[in-house]
Amino acid sequence: MASETTKTYQKRKRKKQSSEGQWFWKLLSFCLFLLIVGIFFRQTLMQLYRIHPIEGTSMEPALNSGEIVLVSKQTVPQRYSLISFSLEKEQFVKRVIGVPGDAFFIQGTRMVFDLDGTGKFLTTYSLDIAERQANEWKNLSAIPEDCYFVLGDHLEVSKDSRVFGWVTSSDIEGTVLLKN
């Protein structure tokens, strides 16, 4: 009888150890599943969006230094949208003023854009640009394909297309969706 009680006890003990082992493996499997889903989710988000910190005052009052913006990598820039881009290892957030195909002319260092798209210059935007850019663009009559003209909202301090020229589609990281 004692032998049967011992056998029953040992069976129960093995069954308990077995269920504890199964519980451990189920928990480990679940944690690995969550880790894989988390990595996949993070990678997917990183392909679609980017977080960009704002430094400087060139976009005031729309964006202030120290703010953070969420940038969509899937959105095509439109006139007046804010875009994030990189040029020569510098990061920028600026406003799109001129889009591919927009007509313009240059007189001296003054650039005049046709904003209504008719080529009649009924709605225009004009500004002074750097002499180097004026000389480079004086023989053009429209913004080239895949190029954008961008400005900072705070023109007095902004380093933008007036100085560094066109921003190409390949330089653009995305369009600003949200700010904090």
Which residues are marked as active site? 58, 94
Longest CA pairwise span in the chain (Å):
111
Residue with tokens 């933008």: 160
Query: Residue type at 40?
Result: F
Look at phi and psi of residue 75 and say left if phi exceeds 0, alpha if psi is from -120 to 50, else beta: beta
Burial class (CB in 10 A: 0-12, 13-18, 19+), 7: exposed
- Cα dihedral: 79, 83, 87, 91 (round 10): 150
Chain mean position to CA 143: 23
Tokens representing residue 124 in the block:
């225009």
Using alpha carbons, select from 153, 150, 172, 170 the residue that is nearest to residue 161. 150
Are 172 and 85 a contacting pair, CB within 8 Å?
yes
